[in-house]
Each structure stands twice: as structure tokens, then as C-alpha cells.
Amino acid sequence: MMRFLVLIACLFAVNSCKKKSAANPPEAVQLAFPEENSECTTGVSLGEDISQVEFRWGLADNTETYELRVTNISTGTVQTIVSASSSAKLPLAKGTQFSWFVRSRNSEVEQTVSSEEWYFYNSGSRTTFAPFPATIESPASSDNVFKDINNEVELSWSASDLDDDIDRYEVYFSVETPPVDLIRELSSTVTNVKVSVTSDTVYYWRVVVIDEEGNKSDTGVYNFKVL
């Protein structure tokens, strides 16, 4: 009897020591529509100023729900909706620029993951469009980078405009945030610039895109550290 009780105790100890397999974190979705840097013309009109836009994305592994976040670029207002499928609809102001991304969630883990962020215009009565905010290519935000032999780092970006009339770029760069020092004004054909840097220093920068009509867009502040 004693041996039987000891055996049961050992089996219980072994089983209690087994770790539960960790749940896999969700994966990022691939956005589909409205397309990046485009004009959305498929919204259903809900009145003079508002239309309902359907957002679509691909399904992601290990994901239970999708949180759609849509931001009005001019006002900063954020609209969110949670969906269990690969689409959702939101009412949006016509003739206005928006950004959107989708956050994947799984109730078994705390970790979430976000998709890329895309920009688009919701179709309206506008005849001219402000450029989309430039896409920062390098250094990415919070990157650690090395300076070159000339003690410089290259900043690079890309930009898009529905009117295809980008006129110039303003580059702001400093060790303070937000960066207010305009270090260079560049033509629409130049999307990179080298800046002088010092090791063990954090720098902040942003790019303002200006079109021929004087419309502007701002990337917001990015930062990197020189090692």
C-alpha cells in the first residue's frame, strides 16, 4: 500500500511540473482596402458630409479579433471598431485624409501586433489633395545606427501625392524634440540628405511634404541613436 501511495505521489509531482505549452502570439494582417496612398471612391453616402467605408484585410494566424483604428489626419480623431472577421465598416468625413491599421488580438496572450499603417483620402468634392505624409525609410524610429567615416548619417524617405504635384521637402533635425531646426529644403526629386552627428547621441527628425498648391503634410517626429 505504501509503495502504491509513493508511486501516486511521484506521478502527481511529475505531472504538476509539466509546463503548459505557451499560446502562440497573433500575427500581423496584410491590409487590402482602401489601398495605400489612394482615393477611396466606393463609400456609401450617408449624407452631404459623411460616407460609410468598408475596410478589408487578410486573416492572420493565431488571431481571434481584429481592432481597426482609423485616424482623421486633420483633426487627430481616432475611430475604432473590433471585428472577428476580415472587414469592418465605419462612417467617415468626405474629402478627408485618413490613416488606418489593424491590431491583431488573442485572448490567450497579452501580446498584440499591428499591421502597417496606410493612408488614403475618402472621396468627396475636393479638387486638390494635400500630399500623403512621407514614409520614413531610414533610420527607422528608435534605430541604433553608426556614423560613416565623415561623421554623417543619411536620412531617407519616400512620398506620394494623388495630384502628383509635390514641390519640395522641408527636413527638420535636432537633438531636441520636437525638432524645430529647418536644416534643408529640397526639391521633389531629392528624398535623402546626410547630416552631421556625434556618437552616443539621440537625434530627432521629421519631414514636411509641400505640394504646388501649398498643401502640407508632416511625418511626425522620428528618432535614432548614434552609437
User: How large is the average pLDDT for residues 117-131?
Assistant: 88
- For the chain, what percent of residues have pLDDT higher than 70? 90
Instruction: Of 66, 53, 59, give the one whose Cα is nearest residue 98.
Output: 53
Q: With bands split at pLDDT 50, 70 and 90, how would you rate the model's confidence at 154?
A: very high
* pLDDT at position 5: 47
* pLDDT at position 20: 47
Q: What is the pLDDT of residues 79-118, one digit of tens each?
A: 999 999 999 999 999 999 999 999 999 999 999 999 999 9
* pLDDT at position 160: 94
Whether the predicted model's global pTM rises above the 0.85 cut: no
- Of the two residues 10 and 134, the one the predictor is more confident about is 134
List alpha helices for the chain, DSSP H.
Answer: 2-17
Burial class (CB in 10 A: 0-12, 13-18, 19+), 1: exposed
Amino acid identity for residue 85 in this structure:
S
Distance of alpha carbon 31 from alpha carbon 65, whole angstroms: 15
* pLDDT at position 124: 87
Q: With bands split at pLDDT 50, 70 and 90, how would you rate the model's confidence at 10?
A: low
Burial class (CB in 10 A: 0-12, 13-18, 19+), 163: middle
pLDDT above 50 for 18 = no
Q: What is the CA radius of gyration of the chain?
A: 24
Q: What is the pLDDT of residues 201-217, one digit of tens each?
A: 999 999 999 999 999 99
- The mean predicted confidence, pLDDT, of the chain is 91
**Residue 6 phi, psi (nearest 5):** -65, -45
Q: With bands split at pLDDT 50, 70 and 90, how would you rate the model's confidence at 170?
A: very high
Spatial contact of 99 and 31, defined as CB atoms under 8 Å apart = no
Instruction: Of 55, 135, 45, give the one whose Cα is nearest residue 95.
Output: 45
pLDDT above 70 for 182 = yes
Strand pairing category for 113-114 and 96-105: antiparallel
* pLDDT at position 1: 52
* pLDDT at position 15: 52
- For the chain, what percent of residues have pLDDT higher than 90? 85
- Give the angle subtended at the CA of 162 by the CAs of 124 and 102, to the nearest 5°: 75
